[in-house]
Structure 1
Amino acid sequence: MSLKYIKARKEDAEMLIEIYNESFYDDYIKYGECPAYGKTIESMKESIERFPKFIIYCDDIPVGVI
């Protein structure tokens, strides 16, 4: 098993949205809102620029992607 951490780029926005939505869906349902759930591609790209994010890969597969 190999692990690596790669800094996210704007091109990763769609994949990060998928991971965020899967991760925060239960909070969205429980509280009726969740700032991390349901981001647009544009807002995720802005977030990537303002707040660096890293994607963890396990055997070259992004962790959290279904």
Structure 2
Amino acid sequence: MHITAPARTEIIKRLLTSLAAILAVSAIFGLKAREWEQHAAAEQVKAEKIAAAQLEAGS
């Protein structure tokens, strides 16, 4: 089966659009993952400070 030039162009456009969408979603998930990691690290620091304060108060 022979693919005509206009059909080939449409297929390539569709592939590039799909690739762009995949890259955009991947970038968003990457940014959100980094945000969640930073939030978890901040919560860990907060928990450590609370634990240290409780130790001092109990001593």
Report the structure number with the largest CA radius of gyration: 2
Relative contact order, higher structure (CA 8 A, sep 6+) = 1
Higher helix proportion: 2
Q: TM-score, normalised by structure 2?
A: 0.26
